[in-house]
Chains A and B, each alone.
Chain A
Amino acid sequence: MKGVRHYPGFLAMAVACLVILYAPLIVVTGYSFNGSTSITTWGGFSWRWYADVFTGPDAPRFKAAAWNSITIAILAATTATAIAVAASVAMIRGGRFKGKSATFALINLPLMVPEIVTAVATLIFFSAIGLTTGYMTILIAHITFCIPFAYLPIAARLQGIEETYEQAARDLYATRAQAFRLILLPLMMPGILSGFLLAFIISLDDFIITNFVKGAGMETLPTAIFGSVKQGIKPNIMAISTMMLAVSVLFVTLSYLVNRIGQRTRS
């Protein structure tokens, strides 16, 4: 059997995919270190646009947006993870119950529904119940669509944990709550961390839904960046984008590593 490298067209396909996927990112990252004010001509290596993000004329706006983004991401990911833990225990340890497949579909629905549809629907819903759009509405929307992202790694982890651990704990005089807290929760922890990190990054990056439900004057990083770009692309946008990219890569890598360590400790 020959390796995949020998498949006809492998090289062309691979190069095309890599270029299409990553060339834009490389350009943005590269030009974020551009010394000149132009976004197309290279003026030597410089950190000036990174400094500009923190101290330039747009700095207060970006700082406020970053604060919103980060606090919303932490709150939304935490809440979504807690809900996902409860949901996964019910789904995987709850035995058979009526409407189980329907529940599974409901939990994961946000993954399938086009984001724009969710965005419009959420906005209509909030105005129907008379909720003023702002920080709260962003947070609620983020919790909702973060749940499936937190649920999937947690459920996958729980699926791999044999029920006999909890039975052994119950057998050794642990109450249901003690068996959950002392045995199941620690064993699920890699999945829970991984789910949290994924939910965090999904919340941090979201644009479409946020843009619909944020209300006037409220910005998160993605909407702030979009707002700036509308007035013309300045190199400081590339710097801030690069920083977001770095945070995303860091979190996804962490999530992956945590999961892998978890795999190893599973007996």
Chain B
Amino acid sequence: MSTAIDIRSVVKRYGTATALHGVSLSIADNEFFTLLGPSGCGKTTLLRCIAGFEDVTEGEIRLFGQNIAGLDPNHRPVNTVFQQYALFPHMSVLENVAFGLKMKGVSLSDRTARAGRMLEMVHLSAFADRLPAQLSGGQQQRVALARALAPEPKVLLLDEPLSALDLKLRQAMRVELKTLQEQTGITFIFVTHDQEEALTMSDRIAVMSQGRVQQIGTARDIYEAPVNRFVADFIGETNLLEVTVDRIEGGIARVTLPGGHTITCPTAATTPGKHHISIRPERLSISAAGDLTATVERVVYLGTDLQLLARLTTGEEFHIRLQNSARAQVPAPGSTVALHLEEGAARLLAD
């Protein structure tokens, strides 16, 4: 598979502040790639650098082999779906969708036909003559998508496009976006701070924090095998415990847990000593003899799940999730339980 976007050591500085510290990543053609991170992590800056709204301070951005870092946005065959859509308020829906084609010099009849087909694809043919202000948020979102896809960009950039929609619509749009990507075969680069969005749609995800890429991988990779504390903590819910590592061999660490029990687990760290271990709260079971001992402080009812807020005998706060099944025996607050770590529950982190 060929590489659509190749980002090489991109640095972006604003005066003395650095937004991107040498980011490198490559995105395959026809991939749904997500930049995920909290606000201020640099994900939007990186997207704007690809679009051409920001100049990179150092580094290269290659689009199918061509360095586009110095080009103006109108000379880059990439299009953007903006967070607030930025539909031109004085133009009809059809004119909005046809705008990119018009700028590219496509004739009136051709661009009208093509814009019409794009509107059909997003199920808005009936709204072609309306103004954007006369559409609902979800409809505006789809017009923005059609507008960005109409000129057949090589890469489509999406800047938190679902954040302005309500929950139900957001969930429906996730499916629609993924379908659209598969239909068109265009590479999507999607920016979001919402991990659920990232996990459900992406082929691969780059988790970003403080201007750096922390980890790149599939949804399963970053959830099951986080490399560091940031990723483990940001993706899903986890318990982070400081532990002593006795030995590391062949990617497996031998770790002494608080309370003295010893386990083996996969590791991202390479040297013995003090490290953090991530234990997923849903990969634990209550058993007679366990790896950890905790006192339950509160039980929170979440519908499908029960969340137990507990404290280890060594003093650390600890969360446990139990499925809300008829068979579940729920410990009462105040009781002490032994916890068994299931296969894949624990992972040793690099920092």
Residues of A contacting B148 with CB < 8 Å? 171-172
* Given A164-B82, A175-B74, A267-B132, CB of A169 within 8 Å of CB of B99: yes
- Interface flag for B195 (CB, 8 Å): no
CB distance from A253 to the nearest CB of B (A): 24
Do B88 and A171 touch (CB < 8 A)? no
Known: A162-B86, A173-B103. 12 other contacts (CB 8 A): A164-B84, A168-B87, A168-B88, A169-B103, A171-B51, A172-B103, A172-B151, A173-B100, A186-B90, A266-B89, A267-B87, A267-B89
Say yes or no: A168-B80 contact (C-beta < 8 A), given A173-B104, A174-B103, A265-B133.
yes
On chain A, the residues within 8 Å of B53 by CB distance are 167, 170-171
Which residue from chain A places its CB closest to the CB of B76 in the assembled complex?
A: A171
Write out the residue numbers on chain B whose beta carbons fall within 8 Å of the beta carbon of A162: 84, 86
Can you list 9 contacts pairing A with B, beta carbon distance less than 8 Å? A167-B82, A168-B88, A169-B99, A170-B52, A170-B73, A171-B73, A178-B103, A186-B90, A265-B133
- B104: chain A residues within 8 A (beta carbon): 173
Which A residues touch B151, using CB under 8 A?
172-173
Q: Which of A's residues lie within 8 Å of B, judged by CB?
A: 162, 164-165, 167-176, 178, 183, 186-187, 265-267
Q: How far is the CA of A154 from the CA of B52 in the complex (A)?
A: 28
Chain A positions within 8 Å of B82 at CB level: 164, 167-168
- With A265-B89, A267-B133 in contact, is A172–B100 under 8 Å at CB? yes
Q: Is the CB of B74 within 8 A of A174?
A: yes
Question: Min CB distance, B102 to chain A, in Å?
Answer: 9
Q: Are B72 and A170 in contact (CB under 8 A)?
A: yes
Closest to B89 in A: A267
Question: Chain B nearest CB: distance from A113 CB in Å?
Answer: 36
Chain B residues in 8 Å Cβ range of A168: 80, 82, 86-88
Whether A167 and B72, one on each chain, are in contact in the complex, defined by CB atoms closer than 8 angstroms, is: no
Closest residue of chain B to A172 (Cβ to Cβ) is B100
State which of A167, A186, A265 has its C-beta within 8 Å of the C-beta of B73.
A167
- Asked if A171 and B79 sit within 8 Å, CB to CB, the answer is yes
Task: Give, as a whole number of angstroms, the nearest-CB distance from A82 to chain B.
Answer: 21
Q: How far is the CA of A171 from the CA of B99 in the complex (A)?
A: 11
**Binary contact readout B66-104 vs A (1 if CB under 8 angstroms, 0 otherwise):** 000000111000111010101111100000000110011
Question: Is the CB–CB distance between A170 and B90 below 8 Å?
Answer: no
* Max chain B C-beta neighbours (<10 A), residue from A168, A169, A172: A172
CA distance A125 to B133 in the complex (A): 52
CA distance A174 to B132 in the complex (A): 20
Bound CA span A167–B51, Å:
10
Q: Which residues of A contact B80 (CB under 8 A)?
A: 167-168, 171
Given contacts A164-B82, A267-B87, whether A172 and B51 have CB atoms under 8 Å apart is no
Assess whether A171 is in contact with B74, with CB atoms less than 8 Å apart: yes
A176→B74 CA distance, assembly (Å): 9
A94 to B273, CA, bound (A): 54
- CB neighbours (8 Å) of A174 from chain B are 74, 99, 103
Name the residue of chain A whose CB is nearest to the CB of B99. A172
User: Does B147 make an interface contact (CB < 8 A)?
Assistant: yes
- Contact string against A for B residues 85-129, beta-carbon threshold 8 Å, 1 for contact and 0 otherwise: 011111000000001100110000000000000000000000000
- Which partner residue on chain A sits nearest B72 by CB separation? A170
Residue of B nearest to A186 (CB): B90
Neighbouring A residues of B86 by C-beta, 8 Å: 162, 164-165, 167-168
Enumerate chain B residues within 8 angstroms of A171, measured Cβ to Cβ: 51-53, 73-74, 78-80, 148
Given contacts A171-B73, A175-B74, whether A187 and B89 have CB atoms under 8 Å apart is yes
Chain B residues with CB under 8 A of A167: 51, 53, 73, 80, 82, 86
Q: Which residue of A lies closest to B78 (CB)?
A: A171
Minimum Cβ distance to chain A for residue B88 (Å): 6
CB nearest neighbor in A for B79: A171
Closest chain B residue, CB of each to CB of A187: B90
Tell me which residues across on chain B come within 8 A of A267, comparing CB atoms.
Answer: 87, 89, 132-133
User: Inside 8 A of A178's CB, which chain B residues have their CB?
Assistant: 103
Residue of chain A at shortest CB distance from B97: A172
Residue of B nearest to A164 (CB): B86
Contact in complex: A172, B133 (CB < 8 Å): no
Minimum C-beta distance from B76 to chain A (A): 8
Cβ of B187 to closest chain A Cβ, rounded Å? 16
Q: 7 closest A-B pairs (Cβ-Cβ)?
A: A172-B100, A173-B103, A164-B86, A267-B89, A168-B86, A170-B73, A173-B74
Are A172 and B79 touching (Cβ within 8 A)? yes
Taking a contact as CB atoms under 8 Å apart, the answer to whether B90 and A265 are in contact is yes
When C-beta atoms are compared, the residue in chain B nearest to A168 turns out to be B86
- A187 surroundings in chain B (CB, below 8 A): 89-90
**Least Cβ–Cβ distance between A5 and chain B, in angstroms:** 37
Report the bound CA distance from A168 to B144 in whole Å.
10
- Shortest Cβ gap from A179 to chain B (Å): 8
Produce 1/0 per residue, B282-303, CB < 8 A to A.
0000000000000000000000
Q: B126-149, CB under 8 A of A: which get 1 and which 0?
A: 000000110000000000000110
Docked pose: A2 CA to B51 CA in angstroms: 55
Q: A187-B89, A265-B89 are in contact. Are A172 and B147 (CB under 8 A)?
A: yes
- Bound-state CA distance A100–B104 (Å) is 36
For A176, what are the chain B residues with a Cβ–Cβ distance below 8 Å? 72
B89 touches A170 (CB 8 A): no
CB distance from B244 to the nearest CB of A (A): 52
Q: A171 to B104: give the CA distance in the assembly, Å.
A: 11
